[in-house]
Amino acid sequence: MPAGPRSRATRALVALLAVVAGVGACTSGTPRPGPTGVSPTRPAPTTPAADPAAEAAALVARLGDEDLVGQVLMPAINLDDPADGSVNLVRTYRLGGVILMGNVPQGAKAAAHVRQLTDQLQAAARSMSVPTGLLIATDQEYGWVTRVKSDVVQLPSAMAFGAAHRPDLTEAAWRGAGRELAALGINIDFAPVADVIGPAGNTVIGSRSYGSEAPGVSEQVGAVVRGLQAAGVAATVKHFPGHGQTTVNSHLALPVLSQNRATLDAVDLAPFRAGISAGAWLVMAGHLDVRAIDPGVPASFSRKVLVDLLRGQLGFDGVVVTDALNMAPAMQWDAGEAAVRALLAGQDLLLMPPNPGAARQGILDALASGRLPKPRLVEAATRVLTLKFRLAGYAKPDLATVGAQANADLAAQIAAAGVTVLRGPCTGPFVTGPVRVTTSEGRGQQQAWLTEALRARGITVVDTGGSVVHLVGYGDGVADLVPATVTVGMDTPYLLGKATSAVRMATYSSTRAAMDAAAAVIAGKATAGGRSPVAVSGLPRTACAG
């Protein structure tokens, strides 16, 4: 498919590359309209932005090699590390960005701690020769990949959104989540996951996915992108070109994607097209062996995948970021070699190099030898800085934004809309008389929340005897099932196919809102309107069709 007219960002980038190299450079097209022909929705900054691409090009033209290299590096900072060490890391390597990992120290107020850390990091960055500040990212997918777990409103997992099938609520909920992240000083979220789960029931991605049906996943991905970026937080569509058709964990080995090109186009790439059409500012490339495109080469290091497919055919012109470079498929090379190979393949931002100093030196050495053409580094740094100038047009919300009741109400609506009964009656109550809530190991908090929510709805909950309501969740297997009247799946619903309960229901999440929604259905105070976004052996997508 031919590329569309060049965007302003692309024209500015071409002009800069011509100055640096004395010749024209490879360019990419603009994001194409969505399937209905409507142009992508672009959020309006709170303050007018002049021309982010032109500003970036002008700045890059003044930077030396060390500053250019710093812009494409994004190492990890642990939330529980001392702030002075993190500040020194930013200054030493003249970083363009960092990713926040780990957990907030015990006893600290999460929102205040994160905001204080991001303010210190930004102050350090703005005192250097590239005064644009930092890209500060994290993996706040919600569900079981969530970095900030207290103070902020906890949305349900992606699969719960897929079960609810309410893209309007998805967009609104993620706009609220974006405001909270922005208030914390986080300006990139490595979400949404755009992976379509295959028939094998991928447990690596699991409930991080919106489901197994490409149209539904695409709808959700577009809604998340619009919501986040309306709040001034850059969305990242991942893991390109799709991690859903494999059960191999790419942290540990290189998964092979064996589907043919037609299937790749129709299924796996569809949500990425939706994210790009919605205006996503980043795409994360996965460590995936895509046999239909470039056999034997991880997509994260493949020019055929990143340039020919992502930019040339899908028309993406934003920032391409690697999946973590400390994962096994990238660790086959040393940090410097992996960094150079990633840039040569078309990556713009190098996430979590295992040794930032070695990655930096490897790039500098490759520049000096001519192996890495300077226009390629300039191109990458320009895209990174264009994103920074774009984000600078958004005001940072006050910390009081975090935990807003309106956001909590939206999370509760999604949780309630996603509850699915896969076996049993459509309306409750599902139990009569006293109830005993049991759980698999390690789920005492969810047991307490469900107990409280059932009692609030007039159900008597006892410690012995009674009808059993049993909770299972992430990582559980058949051995974690027990005889029960009701079995509730709090992660992927696959295990419900092995249960023997008269009533089997899924919440896909273990948040307090999910437990409250489950209690309402069990007590007969609400109807389960969700539909499982993945197939469960022996069970319908919902027992309440129609």
pLDDT tens-digit series, residues 430-463: 998 999 999 999 999 999 999 999 999 999 999 9
Residues of the chain with pLDDT under 70: 1-49, 545-546
Where is 78: in which H helix or E strand? Answer: strand 76-78
CA dihedral 142, 145, 149, 154 (to 10 degrees): 10
| CA–CA dist 218, 224 (Å, integer) | 10
* Residue 354: count of CB within 10 angstroms of its CB: 17
Is 287 tagged catalytic?
no
DSSP per-residue codes, 344-385: HHT-SBEE--SSHHHHHHHHHHHHHHTSS-HHHHHHHHHHHH
The amino acid sitting at 400 is A
Report which of 479, 509, 480 is spatially closest to residue 493, judged by C-alpha positions: 509
Give the span between the Cα atoms of 356 and 73, in whole angstroms: 8
| Alpha helix segments (H runs only) across 309-467 | 335-345, 356-369, 374-391, 405-418, 444-456
Instruction: Report the C-alpha gap between 203 and 474 in whole angstroms.
Output: 9
Strand order in the sheet with 234-240: 76-78, 97-101, 135-138, 188-189, 234-240, 282-285, 319-322
Summary mean pLDDT of the chain: 90
Percent of the chain clearing pLDDT 70 (strictly above):
91
**Distance (Å, rounded) from C-alpha 447 to C-alpha 510?**
10
The burial of 441, by beta-carbon neighbours within 10 Å (0-12 exposed, 13-18 middle, 19 or more buried), is given as exposed
Q: Which residue has the tokens 């100055």?
A: 19
Interhelix angle 270-277/214-230, nearest 10 degrees: 30
Radius of gyration of the chain (CA): 24
| For residue 82, cis peptide bond before it (omega within 30 degrees of 0) | no
> Which residues have a Cβ under 8 Å from the Cβ of 102 and sit 6 or more positions away?
78, 79, 80, 81, 147
CA distance 273 to 364: 35
Angle at 492 between CA 170 and CA 259, to 5 degrees: 90
Please report where in the chains the tokens 């990713």 appear, as a residue. 99
CA distance 174 to 181: 10
H helices present in 253-334, as ranges = 261-263, 270-277, 303
Catalytic residue among 268, 323, 348, 491: 323
Q: Which two tokens stand for residue 132?
A: 């644009």
Say what the pLDDT of residue 426 is.
85
Do residues 156 and 514 make contact, with C-beta atoms less than 8 angstroms apart? yes
Domain coordinates in residue numbering, the chain: 8-28+44-401, 419-522
Position 317, amino acid: D
Residues 244/201, Cβ–Cβ less than 8 Å = no
pLDDT attached to residue 108: 86
Q: Could you tell me the fold of the domain covering 8-28+44-401?
A: TIM Barrel (3.20.20)
What was the pLDDT predicted at 203? Answer: 82
State phi, psi for 11 to the nearest 5 degrees.
-60, -40
3-class DSSP state of 9: helix
| Annotated active-site residue in 84, 251, 334, 398 | 251
Active site residue 139: no
What pTM was estimated for this model as a whole? 0.90
pLDDT digits (tens, 9 = 90+) for 506-517: 999 999 999 999
Tell me the C-alpha distance between 253 and 287, whole Å.
Answer: 9
